[in-house]
Amino acid sequence: MSGATKEPNPDQRPADSRLAGRVAIVTGGAGSIGSAIAHGLVAAGATVIIGDLEVTDRSGTDSFDSESLDVSDENSVCQLVEGVVSRHGRLDVIVNNAGIMFETPVSDQERSAWDEMLAINLTGPMLLTKHAAPHLSQHGVGSIINIGSIEGDRCNPGHAAYAATKAGIHGLTRATAVDLGPVSVRCNAIAPGWIDTPLNASYVDNHPDRDVVVEELAKLHPIGRVGSGSDVADVAVWLASDESRFVTGQVITVDGGRTVRPSLPTILM
């Protein structure tokens, strides 16, 4: 969404060693937010493996490895975790970012599509948490970061399935924090608002009044702009690091203040 927000180049950030020596898995790492998180973790010193159905050949780069992963398939999840631990000798951080979204009114919702979204958006994070948990506290306090949404407690039209899964992610985050806290694993969620992803950009760019849409979207946010992938990534890095060592079971909203300001008719703004 050109002109709406400027994405900082993660490779030009100051040197950071907060996550030096740690190993992280990021699901859905081929997507915009997942890629930004992966780059942010690498910039902080972590070794990062992204798991995605779309595997990118990263030979010749020093960023991160890509592995095939179907988060809805427990065998695929187990194989990824065991392979990472076998190759790197540890696992410290997981980021449950993989997800899908479609728009269907609840009255028209097909069971097969509902089940698919549930499997990817909610069951997938549970499966990775289940198989990663035994490894996460072997070298200190492990960190699980789930990517929820502001739609976890509010909803746009046609998003019944999406909102239900994101509300589930927020609940799973709290339950995981309670269950795994005693074994030195923290679990938190990030709830992004409108982020300038290619999906959102294409939706806006194809609108006949694109410039008006960009302006109106910016007005929704007290901070004056929509979010970028790096806005989410910076919070993920903090949650993965020892700087957030006493933070667990929290859902951190990253939305530029959009949800804290009650809506008003445009004529009154």
Catalytic residues: 162
Q: Considering only CA atoms, which of 1, 13, 40, 46 is closest in space to residue 194?
A: 1
C-alpha atoms less than 13 angstroms from C-alpha of 49 in its C-beta half-sphere = 23
Contacts of residues 80-88 at CB distance under 8 Å and 24 or more positions apart, as own/partner, are 80/25, 80/49, 80/51, 81/25, 81/128, 81/131, 81/132, 81/135, 82/131, 84/23, 84/25, 84/49, 85/135, 88/23, 88/47
Task: Give the distance, in angstroms, between the CA of residue 81 and the centroid of all CA atoms in the same chain.
Answer: 18
Rounded to 5°, the CA angle 48-140-17 comes to 50
Task: Give the distance, in angstroms, between the CA of residue 15 and the centroid of all CA atoms in the same chain.
Answer: 23
Backbone φ, ψ for residue 86 (5° rounding): -65, -40
With b for 16 or more beta-carbon neighbours within 10 A and e for fewer, the 51-89 pattern comes to: bbeeeeeeeeeebbbbbebbbbebebbeebbeebbeeee
